[in-house]
Structure 1
């Protein structure tokens, strides 16, 4: 196993950590929640200038990274700082364009990497839950192109996006892997409407309605009806990213709790001197290191064969879901009431860790998936 801790990645990590420490204050999240975009344009421009967005993409499309450990390095630092910027949505949607796009479509990524444009991936639907192959949105082929009809739910960055990658069924039944196509749709397309809202853990999402949206044939991304494999691969990349983000959030929650135990006095001494709390902190430390191993394992297998990749990604997501909940609960309990006050940073990390479990499949879903993939090996 290659742990991916190269000098370039260490420099990337250090640079991003310094930038966020200097520019990302705790009270920013509540202020950003009141904006339509849900994130800071200044921070986004700074991330682009530092090359952080480019680190998520290969040199072929204008980036300089894109490997599993590049993704995990960036997202661990984002999680440590508690950012709400839509890099996960950029990775998911941009990755699909990079994988399937023609030359004209790939040109859309240049302004995205430069921080000038926003993209999103509209795939989840009201009845799909965690099933990637569940697509009811329909694309009817016409003489001029396609007509899209359907609804998409919880589209991350859907409110701020300039361009949306939309999945739609061109053949097959609702749950068939075959027959799913992708389309690149501008947000000003006639018949496309968005209902934006703030997410509980920061950032924004949108419900998107497609009422007879007409797009030209050039909007088709990749071969007709053959998008599932690319969606699954990019979902694996996104899961690896969010697991790394959770790892960074766990580290920060742990550090905040250690500092609190050192300073909070009871019976004339810091409560961190009490053996019962020391034992609980040891358990948290072990959990964090297990989570780190799971993220390394997922990142290392991201470029491997499909079955191994998907098993390792599901194993990581299952462990991160269980561990994130346990760490957030333990840290809040050791803080007491202050741990859940909006003004204190721990509340954000605890909330984010709980909700990460429900992004792209919860712990139970991925445990069942891991077992099923093992049986098919």
Structure 2
């Protein structure tokens, strides 16, 4: 099997790398961008739209490009290389992905068209205080009165929820199951409290008090399965983004070992440090293999296969990312802990991605719970 990119994929990678690399190669510039709300560069968001990046996953009928998961993964990796703060993962992959999967033709054309054009930011309001990483909603409820639906409850954390023009809100349906609703950013009864996350991103607490919402897709339809699949796809794309960050950390560390001198020689002269850098490379390459495999599973696999792939790659990214991040800090020494140096922020971003959609411990529990589903294998009969 050929794992190399074709000419179009290489062109996409180079174009995105050139755009975000030019914007954020200077880490100090990124620090200044994330200091102020909304936590990303609106002009950079518009440039990504002009390049067609924001419409990559969506069909041409919905105003997109119709690209596959490999192309989306390429974009996520390049954004991860500079930990670009633009909300591609949260807005395009997650919220946009759910609209593409469950919305009506009119909803897809309107919502995804505006997103692809850079005119709108979407956010998926799904996580609820006290609950973790499930596909269903419980504490936020939907009430129907004729053709009118209203939502009540609290969602937190909601990625870029304070900036979003449109919120996609999950809610428990009156007859059971979980539905999703489109809520305007200025809707009545909607209170948004935004705050900065420890990796420089943005999240919000969303309070709904009888807030009107438009059902995504058919009214009253249980979308739990669709939400679960979109979350799994987002986990895999988050792994792509983490891979890009890990690649940058390894390069920064090896460059530092080649340039920093101690006792009159560069640090890469010391065999013990070289071995530790080699171990970082091993973790990175194992992660790279699983990321590529899981990304291809999206294109050809069933929802059950995608879910299994998402858990496996998330577990590896959790372990590999922690190893690469910790070693990068240790091998850089005290400078890596300063806010002015980018290594610490890259590690913080890897930690945030790990906890965003289910950390390594959670994925290990998920995978171990399914061990009994496999047939027994007698090694003597093989």
State the TM-score, normalized to the length of structure 2.
0.93
2:248 and 2:209 mapped to 1: Cα distance? 44
Q: CA deviation at 1:238?
A: 0.8
1:19 Cα deviation (Å)?
1.4
Deviation at 1:30, TM superposition (A): 2.3
Q: Gapped runs of 5+ residues in structure 2?
A: 375-382
| Alpha-carbon offset, residue 171 of structure 1 | 3.8
- The aligned residue for residue 359 of structure 1 is 356
Tell me whether 293-302 or 60-69 shows the greater mean CA deviation.
60-69
The one of the two structures with greater contact order (alpha-carbon pairs below 8 A, sep at least 6) is: 1
- Preserved contact between residue 104 and residue 216 of structure 2 (Cα < 8 Å): no
Pairing 1:236-251 to 2, within 5 Å after superposition:
236-251=232-247
* Cα distance between partner residues in 1 of 2:363 and 2:135: 13
Matching residue of 1:255: 251
Q: Which one of 260, 265, 279 corresponds to residue 275 of structure 2?
A: 279
Structure 1 residue runs of 4+, over 4 Å off?
none
1:153-210 deviations in Å (ceiling 9; x for gaps): 01001011010000001146xxxxx610010110111101100001111221100000
Question: Aligned equivalents of 1:328 and 1:208: distance in 2?
Answer: 32
Correspondence for 2:56: 55
In structure 1, the partner of 2:158 is 155
- How many corresponding residue pairs? 370
8 Å Cα contact 1:155/1:206 also seen in 2: yes
Corresponding residue number in structure 1 for 2:260 = 264
State yes or no: 1:132 paired with 2:129.
Answer: no
In structure 1, the partner of 2:378 is none
- Comparing 69-78 with 222-231, greater Cα deviation is found at 222-231
Assess if the C-alpha contact under 8 Å between 2:135 and 2:225 holds in 1: no
Matches within 5 A, 1:97-112: 97-106=99-108, 107-112=110-115
CA distance in structure 1 between the partners assigned to 2:306 and 2:3 by the alignment: 16
Contact 1:191-1:211 at 8 Å conserved across structures: yes
**CA distance in 1: counterparts of 2:159 and 2:77, whole angstroms:** 19
- Quick one: distance in 1 between partners of 2:2 and 2:135? 29
Output the CA distance in 2 between the equivalents of 1:2 and 1:170. Answer: 46
Q: CA deviation at 1:59?
A: 2.8
For 1:296, the equivalent position in structure 2 comes to: 292
Match of 1:145 in 2: 148
Q: Using the alignment, how far apart are the partners of 1:294 and 1:223 within structure 2?
A: 38
Which whole-Å CA distance do the structure 1 matches of 2:100 and 2:304 have between them? Answer: 22
Distance in 2 of aligned mates of 1:222 and 1:45: 32
Give me the whole-angstrom Cα distance separating, in 1, the residues matched to 2:2 and 2:69: 11
Q: 1:150 to 1:160 in 2, by over 3 A?
A: same
Per the alignment, in what secondary structure is the counterpart of residue 357 of structure 1?
A: helix
Rounded Cα–Cα distance in structure 2 between residues aligned with 1:144 and 1:181: 15
Corresponding position of 1:212:
210
Distance 2:165 2:364 in 1: 36
**Equivalent residue for 2:195, pick from 194, 197, 209:** 197
Q: Distance in 2 between matches of 1:58 and 1:7?
A: 21
**Residues of 2 paired with 1:292 and 1:34: CA distance?**
31
User: Could you say what secondary structure the match of 2:366 adopts?
Assistant: helix
| Alpha-carbon distance, 1:66 to partner | 4.3
1:113-170 CA distance string (max 9 Å, x none): 1111111000000021122224221101102411210100010010110100000011
Q: Which residue of 2 aligns with 1:230?
A: 226
Distance 2:12 2:39 in 1: 25
Q: Are the equivalent residues in 2 in contact too, given 1:76–1:248 (CA < 8 A)? A: yes
What CA distance in whole angstroms lies between the structure 1 residues aligned with 2:296 and 2:365?
A: 22
Quote the offset at 1:4 in angstroms: 6.8
Deviates most, 34-43 or 286-295: 34-43
* Aligned alpha-carbon RMSD (Å): 1.6
- Are residues 51 and 171 of structure 1, via their aligned partners in 2, closer, same or farther at CA, if it must alter by over 3 Å? same
The SS at the match of 1:301 is helix
Q: Which residue of 1 aligns with 2:169?
A: 166
Structure 1: state its 5+ residue gaps.
Answer: 173-177
Query: Which residue number corresponds to residue 175 of structure 1?
Result: none
